[in-house]
Amino acid sequence: MIIRKLIYMAIFILLLLSNNVIAGSTGSEDLTKTDSGSVAGECFEGASRIIFKFNHALDGAVFKPISKGYRSLPVQLRKGTSNAVSNLRSLLTFSNNILQGDFRKAGNTAGRFAINSTVGILGIFDPASALGLKKQGREDFGQTLGIWGANSGCYFVLPFLGPTTARDAIGLVGNAVLDPVYQITHNSEIYNRSFSEHNYWYYRSTGAVDFRSKNIESFESVENNSIDLYASVKSLYLQSRDKKISNSTTTIKSPDNSDWEEIDIN
């Protein structure tokens, strides 16, 4: 079962996190202190660089062309799609608002979802903002663990999913448990299993393409201005995660000082 595999993965990553393992690296033995005080060293840097090259090639061959094609769609269609995906994603944010003890944001998130899912026609429109319920930042279980005091642990790269840390990898498992969309689409007692699972991955893939299309210039600027692209992406990822955990409003900058839209694999 998928859940059993996720649990095994969580146990393995938890061992990495608790022992702060820095193993299999190829030269990056020094630890990097991030703004929030967590420590991010390298786990398996050699393997991570290979996986990073694979992900980068896949992005250039598949995701970038699709994202450029998506950008050619009418602006209102893209905006509506982005709104609908964000509306579904807010259910995971709501769960983590509760776990973080931030009931003010939880109320805001719940109110936005209720209004946008009904008056906003399944989240395509955003009347909640006009009613004073402003859009808040996304929350995930990796952020919740950080707020609970867990250090980031070591940094590594996952196939397809991209950069992560030991803490955020555990967060991916927690997201599957906490996300109502995942639970509904993967519960065969509620819906037909195969059909529903496809719906979940359509939703996640659409979100990924929407994110990639918003960041075409940002990705290109990083590629064109980085001596070591792997190191630049690592730095951007860790800065972004610290910013989210601390709820900072500062803007993450790419190497040429252009604004970075967002880094989110959850």
For 82-109, letters b (16+ CB in 10 Å) and e give: bbbbbbbbbbbbbbbbbbbebeebbebb
Q: What is the mean pLDDT of the chain?
A: 82
Is the pLDDT reported for residue 199 higher than 60?
Answer: yes
pLDDT bin (cut points 50, 70, 90) of residue 201 is confident
**Amino acid identity, residue 94?**
F
Pick from 190, 97, 194, 193: which is nearest to 139 by CA? 97
CB neighbours of residue 14 within 10 Å: 16
Distance from C-alpha of 62 to C-alpha of 85, rounded to nearest angstrom: 21
* Helix, strand, coil fractions of the chain, as percent rounded to 5: 60, 5, 30
**Per-residue model confidence as pLDDT tens digits over 237-252:** 999 999 999 886 555 5
**Per-residue model confidence as pLDDT tens digits over 67-105:** 999 999 999 999 999 999 999 999 999 999 999 999 999
Going by the DSSP 8-state scheme, the letter that residue 160 receives in this structure is T
pLDDT of residue 198: 81
**Per-residue model confidence as pLDDT tens digits over 97-137:** 999 999 999 999 999 999 999 999 999 999 999 999 999 88
Q: Token match 């259910």: residue?
A: 91
- Range scoring the smallest mean pLDDT among 71-80, 184-193, 194-203: 184-193
Is the pLDDT reported for residue 208 higher than 80?
Answer: yes
**Which run of H or E residues covers position 48?**
helix 45-58
E-strand ranges in the chain read 32-33, 39-40, 155-158, 162-165
* DSSP per-residue letters across 129-146: HHTT-PPPPP--HHHHHH
pLDDT of residue 264: 55
Pick from 68, 70, 66: which is nearest to 79 by CA? 70
Rounded mean pLDDT, 145-165: 94
Rounded mean pLDDT, 19-47: 52
**Per-residue model confidence as pLDDT tens digits over 39-76:** 468 888 999 999 999 999 999 999 999 999 999 999 99
pLDDT of residue 194: 52
Rounded mean pLDDT, 200-217: 92
Pick from 203, 188, 181: which is nearest to 1 by CA? 188
% of the chain exceeding 70 in pLDDT: 74
Contact 136, 105 (CB under 8 A): yes
Is the pLDDT reported for residue 38 higher than 60?
Answer: no
